[in-house]
Structure 1
Amino acid sequence: MLCPQLLHAQETPLLPEEKPQIETRHTAVLERVQPGYVAPGIPLGGFRLAPSVEVTGIHDDNIFGTQDDRVADSLLRIQPQLALQSQWARNSLSLDAKGKIDRYLNRSTENIADYSVTGRGVFDINQATTLTTAIRAEGIHQSRLSQDIFSQTIKPIYYTQQSGAVLLAHDFNKLRLSTTARVARFDFRDGQLADGSIADYQPSDNMSYRVGVRASYAQTPSIAWFTSASYNIRRFRTGSIETPKRDSNGFELLAGVSFEPAALIRGSIGIGYIQQRFRLPFYNDLGGLGFNATVQFFPTQLTTVTIRGNRSVLDSGIPGSGGYLSTQGSIQIDHEWLRQLILSASLGYQDSRFNNLDRTDGRISAKASATYRISRYAGLKFGFERLDQSSNGTDRYRAFKDNRATIGLTLTR
């Protein structure tokens, strides 16, 4: 049996955010640096090396994300990291290498080993112009809880990603103009089904390109107005009878404001329009209202409340569908208690509407954690996560609940 599928590879930010034009008045709990709890690192000439490892015990009551016949298991997760950062007065180079190794107690087919290596450079061409570059190589396994999974392979699907990006920004007094370019390549390995047949994932292999421009005007030290535009091209290696090639072009137009007044609040809110057009008439185009917003409240110096929301078009992993319109929102509360203990809780929701299918998914996620700083070299973290997915429509898929408890130790140098 041949099961062609398309997967959406979740992207993580490759380029750092631009330096804010407005004055920074507040420091969020998770941004605060506490004297006595920062690892010194290892000096290496003009660089500093910061090695660390996080060892976490996890118990998951639904490792396959199934509606019926839930399977529970425990695992040990080891996450080593090496961060090399230059210590120059001007310009900077950094190299960050991460790993993630999962070892399950009973289900050894779920064991994975992932990696990510990122290099970045920031160059001050002059006092008003900055060039930022970044490259990344990753090897990742798809999560069993992803809503893009359509059938269960014996082992999680593995894919690699290579990406590169560049950002050029120039300040004209109160006006800042910037442009970005990004390219990414995704290559998926085939999977094997329980009956021994091969699940063909070549239709998931793709190249994506994105260019963008942004203009921001700082009206005062506490408020800046901006407008941005981006254009993307997505090209897939091949298709199938059930799922033709999902090549598409799209754009995003946003306008908004960044602010940090004397009041205990700061944020950035952009609203506009998004659209993704598919080259083949087989697929329905996606588009509508677009937005990207982050707002933080500081009721006290020890408490931060963060609200986020965004809307975007993502590639679908479901046969017959080219993509889906994803609307996400979340609220997170972080509280610092006695310098050593950070308590965090968050609640999030995602609404996904697939084109060419009568299917709408809803995902509710809740998280709570406590991070205890033992010293500058060690810390403990306790956590609990819950995911509740629903699926509606004549083409609905799985609805499931998953609960996960964690306890971890982080060692740094």
Structure 2
Amino acid sequence: MRQPGLFATVSLLISGMVPGTVHAQQSEVLEDFRDESLQFQRPDILSVQERPQPAFDPVPYRIGGAEIMPSITVDTLYDSNIFAVRDESDDLIVRVKPKVTASKRFGNFNVETAAELERRQFLSTDSQSTTDYVLGLRGRLDLDREGQIYLGTRNGQRTEDRTDPASPLNLQKPVQYRFASAFAGAARTFGRLRIAGRAGVETRNYKDGRDGFDVLVDQDFRNRTVFTSDLGAEFAISPNASVFINGSVNRRDYKSQPPLSPSRDSKGYEITAGTSFQLSKLVRSEIGVGYFKQDFEDAEFEDADGFAARAKIEYFVTPLVTLTAGANRGVEESSTLGSGAYVATAFSLTADYELLRNLIVSASISYEEDRFQDIDRDYDITGARMGVEWRLAPRYSLHAQYDFRDQDASGTFPGREFSRHRFLVGITIAGM
């Protein structure tokens, strides 16, 4: 059996364990460009979402040694609270998302590229309609069976969801920003020991908005460049258990700040250690705990530090049912004037049920607690989600989802408080 991979534990430093949509895996390449081989996978058990379905999985086009996978997803979405405020306004939204990925191998070097466009058209409130896109490229060089080098880049435009804790409260339209990022990494196995490292940089440029009186609201103070570096080591005690330690450092440089406002520049680190293990064929887990600290250069912003945790536990109730529990605690960047950061603690529980070979039903609940630094503001966020994905054939699949979010705010500057219901139905056409 191959030794456990390290980068799953490194990836826990980068992403939280909140549940995604039923068909969220379709955007993984564009989200972070981490190669799947870097993620910790036990080869002898697979979750409901991981298990391949050869009779229903899309088949790519093969042209000149390259594999090309085009797809398009069309959704109709009802949102009961499009502005995420107490006084609800609903709307019906049509979302169209074409995407294409292509990969080709040149000897020991594998290259993959992807492009995705997303158009959200609000039928009654056209001013809220947005268009986003992402373009990316990544590569993996296999030095030999024990060593790999990884490179990647992506850029595009995103729309900030109004439910984001950092989203401004008084803008007519949701904020959009452009981003560009690149990373380089390497991994090497020495018997039972695996060592991996990764360095990356990302820049963001936010567009200005307008408030209810049509006055320009400057967002330039949010423009920033973030440098990150991760280094980790994992030692396999046995084929089914390992221990690991990871370290991550970052530096956040802001290009400008409002007059008389303190600098938002900061630097920080996070160290976690833990274990990854598999109990028979029933339980698979990754649990890491440690410490984080984010130091701000300006004394007007309070430094953030505390207990860090990343955990994911999967319970394979039967071959057709997977339960997944997740937890995540760390420091997040705050884009609220007067606050440098907030500490987010999140928990989630997800159940996936393969009702039929081509029909997966999912349900999840989540809770998140956000505690802001420097200002008196706390968020308590409760969520629930139910979804179904029905693969009719390799090219066609239907999906439906219900999503609920309730956000309570407290403190002297309470911020955004709301409840929201979303209902979605759609179809995806992919491959040959």
Match of 1:401 among 389, 404, 419: 419
Q: Which residue of 1 aligns with 2:246?
A: 228
Q: Deviations over 1:185-229 (max 9, x none)?
A: 000111112212111011000000011210110110001110011
Q: What fraction of aligned residue pairs are identical, expressed as a percent?
A: 27
Contact residue 274 and residue 288 of structure 2 kept, 8 A: yes
Q: Which residue of 1 aligns with 2:21?
A: none
Cα distance, 1:17–1:227 mapped onto 2, change above 3 Å: farther
Does residue 376 of structure 2 align to residue 358 of structure 1? yes
Contact residue 173 and residue 209 of structure 2 kept, 8 A: yes
SS state at 1:183 partner: strand
Alignment of 1:182-197 (within 5 A): 182-197=200-215
Q: Which residue of 1 aligns with 2:32?
A: 13
Match of 1:344 among 362, 367, 377: 362
Q: Which residue of 1 aligns with 2:340?
A: 322
Contact residue 264 and residue 298 of structure 1 kept, 8 A: yes
Cα distance, 1:407–1:155 mapped onto 2, change above 3 Å: same
Once the two structures are TM-superposed, the CA of residue 24 in structure 1 deviates from its matched residue by 2.4
Contact residue 46 and residue 88 of structure 1 kept, 8 A: no
Once the two structures are TM-superposed, the CA of residue 93 in structure 1 deviates from its matched residue by 1.0
Alignment of 1:154-303 (within 5 A): 154-241=172-259, 243-303=261-321
Contact residue 307 and residue 330 of structure 2 kept, 8 A: no
Q: Deviations over 1:381-408 (max 9, x none)?
A: 1110001001111121221000000000
Contact residue 128 and residue 172 of structure 1 kept, 8 A: yes
Cα distance, 1:21–1:110 mapped onto 2, change above 3 Å: closer
Match of 2:111 among 82, 89, 93: 93
Q: Which residue of 2 aligns with 1:142?
A: 160
SS state at 2:49 partner: helix
Q: Which residue of 1 aligns with 2:392?
A: 374
What is the one-letter code of the residue matched to 1:27?
L
Does residue 65 of structure 2 align to residue 51 of structure 1? no
Q: Which residue of 2 aligns with 1:84?
A: 102
Q: Distance in 2 between matches of 1:319 and 1:339?
A: 50
Match of 1:29 among 42, 45, 48: 48
Q: Which residue of 2 aligns with 1:332?
A: 350
Contact residue 23 and residue 221 of structure 1 kept, 8 A: no
Match of 1:41 among 60, 67, 79: 60
TM-score under structure 2 normalisation? Answer: 0.90
Once the two structures are TM-superposed, the CA of residue 17 in structure 1 deviates from its matched residue by 5.3
Q: Distance in 1 between matches of 2:77 and 2:31?
A: 23
Provide the aligned length of Structure 1 versus Structure 2: 403
Q: Distance in 2 between matches of 1:100 and 1:306?
A: 29
Q: Deviations over 1:100-138 (max 9, x none)?
A: 101111100111110011211111112221111111102
Cα distance, 1:174–1:235 mapped onto 2, change above 3 Å: same
Q: Which runs of 5+ in 2 are unaligned?
A: 1-15, 17-29
Q: Distance in 1 between matches of 2:108 and 2:64?
A: 16
What is the one-letter code of the residue matched to 1:82?
V
> Relative to structure 2, which stretch is displaced further, 134-143 or 400-409?
134-143
Once the two structures are TM-superposed, the CA of residue 298 in structure 1 deviates from its matched residue by 0.2
Cα distance, 1:323–1:200 mapped onto 2, change above 3 Å: same
What is the one-letter code of the residue matched to 2:76?
G
Q: Distance in 2 between matches of 1:307 and 1:95?
A: 32
Does residue 134 of structure 2 align to residue 116 of structure 1? yes
Q: Deviations over 1:12-47 (max 9, x none)?
A: 434235546774221111111112112221112121
Cα distance, 1:335–1:23 mapped onto 2, change above 3 Å: closer
Q: Which runs of 5+ in 1 are unaligned?
A: 1-9
What is the one-letter code of the residue matched to 1:63?
I
TM-score under structure 1 normalisation? Answer: 0.94
